[in-house]
Amino acid sequence: MKTYQKDIAFLESLANLPQKNYLLGLKDRSIFLIRLKNFLTLVGNPQNKLKFIHIAGTSGKGSTVGILRELMANARLKVGSYTSPFATTSLEKIQINQNLISPKDLHQILEQKIKPALNKYILKFPTEPISYFEAWLAIGLLYYQQAECNWVILETGLGGTHDATNVITHPKITAITNIGLDHTHILGHTKKKIAQDKAGIIKKGSRFLTTEKSPKLISIFKSVTKKKKAKFIVLKNLTRQYDGGTYFSTPRQKNNLNLALNVLDVLKIKPRQVQKIINNFQLICRQEIIQKNPLVILDGAHNPDKLSNLVNFIKQQKYKKLHLIIGLAENKDCRQALKKILPLADYLYLTRFLVIQRKTAALRKLYQQSRRISKIPCQLFLDPHQALEAAFAQARQSDLILITGSFFLTGELRKYWITEEYIIKNLKTFK
């Protein structure tokens, strides 16, 4: 555990190197891919030796990646996946089939590949060094190559065109789940601009799929596929023959499932137990039922699309009173988020996440905004664990406790049920 903690501390320390920050929405963002391409040449360009499915979108990426990985693994394939952010431990970012990367493999790649390459990079290239996110992606690519994965599914971190995952040049499949308004200070303030940015993942020879329904946005995607000499695939309705189970019960999640099934159809991959995989599917901090009596649901929804899906999911549950524990990031539209979710609540617990790399929304401001929407009983807690204790003290067995607003918040409180130590020891996120 000490070695693992040292390795994570080293990776997090990359933030103090002199480098431009992707999250600040710079006008010229080409530097991010240039510096990563330069770095990958020093570790053998593992991205050129793997087969990729590349997925972007405002919401639904994690669900699509997750069910795709499970179904492909069920077809006896070795499938790597790279996702972000993580909920409880950094290892969640890199996975092969059901197992997370081990601390031992992480350490080996870091010591033998990443650190020596970082040292060489400083003198070899005039461009600034890679970031924390880019270093993790490089580790993932080396790990998938080392493990001889049949396929790798990459989830974009933010946007598409300049996202680190767009360092790959020949994906077999590119897909966009949907287009919504999120990260507008970086990607643009209209859906059209956001669609154009995300369409940057479409590459020559790839087959492109999307669940987006807007004719204007679809015309953008068709234009890009034509220009890039890719193929636009019209989705079939493949969910009709399956029951969506608990997870794929909302319209948004049914779209995600259909996208995954269409990807498999295009690749002619045939899982052995599709319905069983769908029935048993669960995803960390997304519509996650972590406890019953009282019912506790964790969902890191933070934008209008994700919150709309969450509202639909909650309406399908049986409960008497809803206890809402919510914490939001400073850069989110807190008023809109509260307007979406607050009408469902009977009790409100305003709190924050504990991650120091991101600013949390001011609790005083959240309180004032919530009062304009609803006058339900409300308590404030700087410590999210105290908010959870208060909800447990108030809730009855027939009630529902919903924790939402941020992946960082849900991941922090999830430790109450499944500790980081358990995940690291077992390399699994569920018991």
Q: Do both 215 and 120 map to the same domain?
A: yes
For residue 56, what is the domain's CATH number? 3.40.1190.10
The answer on pLDDT for 9 being more than 90 is: yes
pLDDT band at 228 (very low <50, low <70, confident <90, very high): very high
Q: Do both 258 and 349 map to the same domain?
A: no
Q: What are the tokens at 192?
A: 């059209």
Query: Considering the entire predicted model, what is its pTM?
Result: 0.94
Q: How many domains does the chain have?
A: 2
Give Cα separations from 63 to 6, 144, 258, 284, 297 (angstroms): 31, 21, 11, 10, 16
Q: Do both 232 and 296 map to the same domain?
A: no
Phi, psi of 230 (to 5 degrees): -105, 175
Q: Do both 234 and 308 map to the same domain?
A: no
The answer on pLDDT for 200 being more than 90 is: yes
Amino acid 100 reads L
The answer on pLDDT for 28 being more than 70 is: no
- Separation CA 13–CA 367 (nearest Å): 34
Locus of tokens 């901090």: 285
Give Cα separations from 269 to 64, 66, 67, 71, 262 (angstroms): 16, 16, 14, 9, 10
- The answer to whether the beta carbons of residues 297 and 305 sit under 8 Å apart is no
| Domain-located, residue 276 | yes
- pLDDT tens for 371-390 read 999 999 999 999 999 999 99
Write down which residue in 283, 311, 336 finishes a domain. Answer: 283
- pLDDT tens for 340-351 read 999 999 999 999
- pLDDT tens for 293-331 read 999 999 999 888 899 999 999 999 999 999 999 999 998
Q: Do both 255 and 235 map to the same domain?
A: yes
Q: Please give the residue range of the domain that contains residue 311.
A: 288-414
| Domain-located, residue 422 | no
| Domain-located, residue 428 | no
- 42: DSSP letter: T
Q: Do both 141 and 268 map to the same domain?
A: yes
Q: Do both 9 and 52 map to the same domain?
A: yes
- pLDDT tens for 271-295 read 999 999 999 999 999 999 999 999 9
Q: Do both 150 and 293 map to the same domain?
A: no
pLDDT given for residue 116 in this prediction: 98
| Domain-located, residue 209 | yes
Comparing CA positions, the residue from 244, 315, 268 lying closest to residue 151 is 268
- The answer to whether the beta carbons of residues 253 and 244 sit under 8 Å apart is yes
pLDDT given for residue 258 in this prediction: 98
- Separation CA 79–CA 74 (nearest Å): 10
| Domain-located, residue 327 | yes
| Domain-located, residue 425 | no
Q: Do both 38 and 110 map to the same domain?
A: yes
| Domain-located, residue 424 | no
Comparing CA positions, the residue from 173, 191, 180 lying closest to residue 233 is 173
Lowest-confidence region among 173-182, 363-372, 391-400: 173-182
| Domain-located, residue 421 | no
Q: What are the tokens at 354?
A: 């504990």
